[in-house]
């Protein structure tokens, strides 16, 4: 029993001690709880405040982001504008450099052109002087050509001379026979390899061979033509033409080497003076013929005057 009582007391004592300890701990724990509660309230208030501040800051942050994007766009635009300006400045600098180089080249070209201008001016002046001299020479040549053409027309009208070109050069004379002024007397010669050849002669002359040999020796064509006309006139006047048999026997072609030379102006002048003298004699003979017949001079055949000018044997040496 005593053992049982002692265990109960011990237990009560322990419980009492525990109660006392709990009683002491409860106010302490209560204070701690109150302190923790106050602290928690403070923390909650602080958290609320921070949350509100955070929301405000987030709102400001959103605005700042928008502004930042706008600023970034402006910066990109500014950089692009700056890049364009720099590129434009570089292009302007290159253009200025190229322009300076072009100006230098153009300056050199202008100086070269000025030098060429002076050179061309000198050449033009020289060419003008030469052209003036050529014009004067051409005028003189034209005057001489007109004189030759007038002489040919005069031969045709007064002496009845007509020249035809073909296989050879054919000299046709009219106004030989006073009784038949339209009757033609002609001969044809050819010049080839510096040799004169008598191709035909109608009517035939007795001394034609000798005249042709003299032509090949002296190369005096004008004198030969003049002499042949005189022979025709003399044969008509004296009736010394060979008969048909002798003409057939005397048909020939003579070729003798001729000296190479041009017909001189002196020979032409001599030929003109001789033909004028003969025309005066012929005109005096015509007065003796019946005046009713009239004198009908043969006109120059088409192309005969130009043929005479084209023939190399009739180019007068100047």
86-143 pLDDT, tens digit per residue, is 999 999 999 999 999 999 999 999 999 999 999 999 999 998 999 999 988 888 888 8
Same domain? For 202 and 174 the reply is yes
More confident residue, 251 or 121: 121
pLDDT value at 14 more than 90: no
DSSP 200-221: EEES--TTHHHHHHHHHHH--H
Domain boundary among 89, 114, 144: 144
Coil vs helix vs strand at 118? helix
Same domain? For 106 and 175 the reply is no
d(CA 258, CA 149): 27
Domain boundary among 144, 178, 201: 144
Same domain? For 178 and 304 the reply is yes
Q: In this predicted structure, what is the pLDDT of residue 248? A: 41
Is residue 274 situated within a structural domain? yes
Q: Is 175:181 a contact under the CB 8 Å cutoff?
A: yes
Same domain? For 63 and 91 the reply is yes
Is residue 101 situated within a structural domain? yes
Q: Is 160:173 a contact under the CB 8 Å cutoff?
A: yes
Same domain? For 209 and 301 the reply is yes
Same domain? For 139 and 215 the reply is no
Same domain? For 302 and 171 the reply is yes
The arrangement of strands across the sheet holding 169-173 comes to 161-165, 169-173, 185-192, 195-202, 256-257
Is residue 8 situated within a structural domain? no
Q: In this predicted structure, what is the pLDDT of residue 317? A: 38
Same domain? For 164 and 309 the reply is yes
State which residues form the domain around 79: 55-144
Is residue 300 situated within a structural domain? yes
d(CA 157, CA 174): 10
Same domain? For 79 and 181 the reply is no
Nearest to 213, CA basis, from 233, 196, 225: 196
Bridge partner residues of 161 (DSSP): 173
pLDDT value at 257 more than 50: no
CA torsion, points 112, 116, 117, 120, in degrees to nearest 10?
180
Q: Tens digits of per-residue pLDDT, 163-211?
A: 888 888 999 988 888 888 888 999 999 988 889 999 999 888 888 889 9
d(CA 273, CA 269): 6
Average pLDDT over residues 250-261: 39
Average pLDDT over residues 261-265: 38
Is residue 199 situated within a structural domain? yes
Same domain? For 191 and 297 the reply is yes
DSSP 134-178: HHHHHHHHHHHHHHHHHHHHHIIIII-EEEEESSSEEEEE-S-SS
* Number of structural domains the chain divides into: 2
**Rounded to an integer, what is the distance from CA 131 to the centroid of its chain?**
23
Is residue 81 situated within a structural domain? yes
Is residue 34 situated within a structural domain? no
Is residue 45 situated within a structural domain? no
The domain that contains 288 carries what CATH number? 3.30.457.50
Average pLDDT over residues 225-242: 82
Average pLDDT over residues 35-48: 90
Q: In this predicted structure, what is the pLDDT of residue 250? A: 41
Q: In this predicted structure, what is the pLDDT of residue 81? A: 94
Same domain? For 122 and 245 the reply is no
């Amino acid at each position: 029993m005593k053992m049982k009582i002692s265990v109960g007391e011990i237990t009560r004592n322990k419980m009492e001690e525990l109660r006392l300890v709990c009683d002491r701990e409860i106010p302490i724990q209560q204070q701690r709880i109150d302190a923790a509660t106050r602290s928690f309230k403070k923390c909650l208030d602080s958290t609320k405040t921070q949350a509100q501040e955070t929301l405000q800051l987030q709102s400001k942050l959103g605005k700042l982001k928008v502004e930042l994007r706008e600023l970034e766009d402006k910066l990109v635009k500014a950089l692009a504008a700056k890049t364009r300006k720099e590129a434009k400045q570089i292009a302007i600098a290159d253009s200025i450099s190229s322009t300076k180089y072009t100006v230098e080249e153009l300056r050199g070209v202008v100086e070269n052109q000025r030098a060429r201008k002076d050179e061309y001016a000198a050449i033009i002046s020289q060419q003008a002087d030469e052209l003036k001299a050529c014009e004067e020479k051409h005028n003189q040549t034209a005057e001489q050509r007109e004189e030759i053409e007038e002489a040919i027309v005069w031969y045709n009208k007064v002496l009845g001379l007509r020249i035809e070109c073909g296989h050879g050069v054919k000299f046709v004379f009219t106004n030989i026979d006073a009784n038949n002024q339209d009757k033609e007397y002609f001969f044809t010669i050819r010049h080839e390899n510096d040799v004169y050849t008598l191709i035909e002669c109608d009517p035939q002359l007795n001394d034609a061979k000798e005249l042709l040999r003299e032509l090949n020796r002296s190369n005096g064509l004008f004198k030969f033509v003049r002499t042949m006309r005189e022979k025709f006139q003399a044969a008509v006047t004296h009736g010394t033409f060979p008969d048909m048999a002798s003409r057939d026997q005397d048909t020939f072609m003579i070729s003798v080497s001729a000296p190479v030379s041009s017909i001189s102006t002196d020979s032409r002048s001599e030929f003109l003076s001789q033909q004028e003298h003969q025309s005066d004699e012929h005109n005096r003979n015509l007065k003796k013929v019946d005046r009713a017949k009239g004198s009908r001079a043969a006109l120059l055949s088409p192309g005969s005057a130009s043929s005479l000018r084209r023939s190399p044997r009739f180019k007068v040496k100047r």
